[in-house]
A and B are shown apart, each in its own frame.
Chain A
């Protein structure tokens, strides 16, 4: 790690002000991505602002037809929350296959979204569920939020405060884990809400999470795995590395999508 200044603000306003003032400042939420990057000297923020002592940023509640999760809510809390299990069981399932228990005890939804790792799980859920990311400044639709690998719509000094998920009638998530890192090699979140069907893919695309419109169209006819038979996204724009080339990744997206629909129908 390179040297940095450390702050532990006790209010959101204070955090935002520190972030605004700091040159090359980074927010520290759960730290499960940022700290390893800093340890490997791949990230070198001059200032680290720990959100751990900021009140009011955690919690899970159902508000009408939405599920609201505070940005600093740990993955483990989402995984085990009866409210989440009742409202969007697919989200609880997604978290249960995210990282490992110790990582889930620290990692937060806000941190995951702000980081927007192209293989992370949460972005798929947000995009497929049509979530709204609420910051200290504004509300951002998931469709606008994810802007490519490790890139989001967040502006300088902007802090995610909570995430609002509209509750779907059906949803399912399936991921094929990267053999080594256990991130998503291909993860697909499908959701149906009223007439709207959204399919979001993480891990596979070379510009991060994306909506697979072809699959969405196919599922509009009938929300069943069969509707996706033979359907595979184009290999163009797929990631390719030693673990999975573009053809394999594209194939896996098809398989995971069918299995996600199966899972969505299972409850």
Chain B
């Protein structure tokens, strides 16, 4: 039998259905009698709706209903919510405008939902949607933070007249300013963290179904957290009470954050299902996905780093303007604040840090968490500053980093976080060796002979994962706790179902979670099923994001397993006629200490259910245990990524020659899956650095990059095979020692790429994405002084 314990490279259990075409994604689900929804979307970035005329559309073939914001309001369906309260410096709460699922009076970005057409077929619904006549009074939009904050700029929402949702800060301003005042050297950078569009390959979809007999709703949806979707849809939006709403997130084709949020479309599908008395299905096409999925990043930052005469970092000062789009998406406010500024210490011992962040409304799609969420932006600021500072003071960037590394744990940073464990030198050392850093000079000269500019860049990143201790996030404004739940159901024959509140949409939980169970209970992995993604099966859960499912979700399972084993010992004591305290459990066997009497896990499970050997009044029959696990701290995965690349100065084309990643994720359950997570993260980070950027036309607010014809996705040819390795310092803050790995690559990669590009061209003026055109210009800029000589 193959080894399936913790740490083994177990091939994924879930793969069989995916490689045979038997996955069940939301769009694969059809309900009897279903009708199809198509949304009428705003073609304007900013406009007042004077009138919606649906008369012509209503009479078109196949049309079942056309619903607008007025119908929603009449049914008292509430608006979409943002679940994290941020208070400004002055103590005032953030200024959030209403976010109706179908526009009411105003549209605020291209793609905003104006009405929904429900028809017998998608084509009929599309035809009718085109026939809906909307009379718009078009207004001038603002699409970037600078113009939104300019004097006299049009207000996106009346609630925030200057478009500032909040003016927030973190850290000690006085101490930071004092440190800058005595600095020997100050490195300053203006940084734009480019706006990204998540682009999970499966577009969002929803099927709303209403059972009038039981007055109960079912929503099939592409969600990373179906329980949170149910909570928000019932408690806040008011579509149905919780016990009458079942949310099922079946196989989900990638999320990367974009499927955390509760969107207008699924809200409308559930509501409309009752309204029209038929199941209502909506599937996004890619263009709609570009327009209406929550985008990521989009920061404009001024960052400064103060150094002393020995190359030690004294302080960091950061001012960021974060574009939040036209409405506050579900977790939008937390991303540029508590998921960002607390990471500004990086891996470095920095005595003083002060960060100011303005959240800004614009006439663009809502911006929310995208793989890494705040932490890539923080890492980019820190790692660019560190690299440039090292260059400016003439110190090797690797040495400069090592000089400033934190070496004593736990370490309290000046920005909330208490790092629990890490060994940053170990990752750096290993990465330098794997990357053959010493040989770089030779490779650079060789490249120069071929007319290529070769560069190397580091990113010594840290992230806060395992999100998160409920009380801690509650004190920071979160509307929910961020624990996770698990229920372990042992069947009478000893097979096991684990119900988890985590959701797998590519992460491989059906394998890694089963490994934990197999390991702990000593049963074959085939005998374990992981159940997730259905609110009727799993009681409650917080879902998957923030690299939390290993550290938090599996810890909940571990806790439940402990209870199962404890209960099993009680049963075994009766079966084996021994004192409970003498029962040991190891390798799937309950045994009496110091004797040869034992019973297998399956036998004890059976005994627990037939309940012949014990008194049911003293010991409850059955073997099923649940647990909620609330983490005691964030976890702090960290590592070093090194990017080596070449630039063709003639065309600006960039080739990544080598990628070295050494990550410390604590204990690893399945290296095969962890490596896969790292690979994918790097690709997305490289995408941000070189290829991807959402562009809105500043005059019209049109999304210029609204398809793969204009938004460049990383392709196989754009990437090399990666050198991926790990170091291990177990995480002391959870029972499994896991830190989390899902976002590391995306967090680390952009800075490594840009540091390599700037190293190659010899100056710091390289934007993201560093497209061929941008790099051609950067190469010309580098060449100019030479030409003048």
B-contacting residues of A (Cβ < 8 Å)? 1-2, 40-41, 176, 179-181, 185, 242-245, 248, 251-252, 255
B773 touches A244 (CB 8 A): yes
The answer to whether B650 touches A181, judged by C-beta atoms less than 8 angstroms apart, is no
Besides A179-B772, A180-B710, A255-B650, 14 other CB < 8 A contacts? A1-B123, A41-B130, A176-B651, A176-B772, A180-B711, A180-B713, A181-B708, A242-B710, A243-B771, A244-B772, A248-B652, A248-B776, A251-B776, A255-B651
Residues of B within 8 A of A255 (CB): 650-651
Judge whether B412 is part of the interface by a CB distance below 8 angstroms: no
Judge if B695 is at the interface, Cβ distance under 8 Å. yes
Q: How far is the CA of A72 from the CA of B178 in the complex (A)?
A: 75
Which residues of B, 423-481, contact A by the 8 Å Cβ criterion? none
Bound-complex Cα distance A99 to B650 (A) = 24
In the bound complex, what is the Cα–Cα distance between A255 and B408 (angstroms)? 54
Q: Are B773 and A245 in contact (CB under 8 A)?
A: yes
Evaluate whether A180 and B712 lie within 8 angstroms (CB atoms) in the complex, with A1-B123, A40-B287, A255-B651 already known.
Answer: yes
How long is the Cα–Cα vector from A185 to B652 in the complex, in angstroms?
A: 13
With a cutoff of 8 Å between Cβ atoms, the chain B residues found around residue A185 in the complex are 772
**When chains A and B are docked, how far (Å) is the Cα of A156 from the Cα of B77?**
55
| CB-defined A-B contacts under 8 Å, sample of 7 | A2-B127, A179-B712, A179-B771, A180-B710, A181-B709, A181-B710, A242-B705
Assess whether B704 is interfacial by the CB under 8 Å rule.
yes
Residue of B nearest to A248 (CB): B773
Minimum CB–CB distance for A4 against chain B, Å: 12
CB of B246 within 8 A of chain A? no
* Alpha-carbon distance between A41 and B713 when the two chains are bound, in angstroms: 24
Question: How many residues of B are counted as interface, with CB atoms below 8 angstroms from the partner's CB atoms?
Answer: 24
Partner-A contacts on B (CB < 8 A): 123, 126-127, 130, 287, 650-653, 691, 695, 704-705, 708-713, 771-773, 776-777
| Chain B contacts for A2, CB-based, 8 A | 127
Contact A179 B691 (CB under 8 A): yes
Closest chain A residue to B709 by CB distance? A181
Query: What residues of B have a CB within 8 angstroms of the CB of A242 in the complex?
Result: 695, 704-705, 710
Q: Which of A180, A181, A243 contacts B773 (CB 8 A)?
A: A243
Q: Measured between C-beta atoms, what is the minimum distance from B767 to chain A in Å?
A: 13
Measured in the bound complex, the distance between the Cα atoms of B130 and A69 in whole Å is 42
Q: Please indicate which of the listed interface residues B653, B708, B776 has the most CB atoms of chain A within 10 Å of its own CB.
A: B776
Give the residues in chain B near A176, CB-CB below 8 Å. 651, 653, 772
Distance in angstroms from A203 CB to nearest chain B CB is: 13
Q: Are A180 and B651 in contact (CB under 8 A)?
A: no
Least CB distance, B19 to chain A, in whole angstroms: 19
Which of chain A's residues has its CB closest to B648's CB?
A: A255
Known: A179-B771, A244-B773. A252 touches B712 (CB 8 A): no
Contacts of B705 in A (CB 8 A): 180, 242
Given contacts A1-B123, A242-B704, A243-B773, contact A180 B709 (CB under 8 A): yes
> Of B130, B651, B705, which is in contact with the most chain A CB atoms at under 10 Å from its CB?
B651
What residues of A have a CB within 8 angstroms of the CB of B709 in the complex? 180-181
User: Which of B287, B651, B713 interacts with A252 by CB under 8 Å?
Assistant: B651
Alpha-carbon distance between A40 and B709 when the two chains are bound, in angstroms: 12
User: How long is the Cα–Cα vector from A244 to B771 in the complex, in angstroms?
Assistant: 9
Residues of A within 8 A of B650 (CB): 255
Does B123 lie within 8 Å of A180, measured CB to CB? Answer: no
Residues of A within 8 Å of B771, CB to CB, are 179, 243
Interface centre among A2, A176, A185, A248 (most CB of B within 10 A): A248
Collect the chain B residues with CB atoms within 8 Å of residue A243's CB: 710, 771, 773
Q: Nearest 4 A-B pairs (CB), nearest first?
A: A180-B712, A181-B709, A179-B712, A255-B650
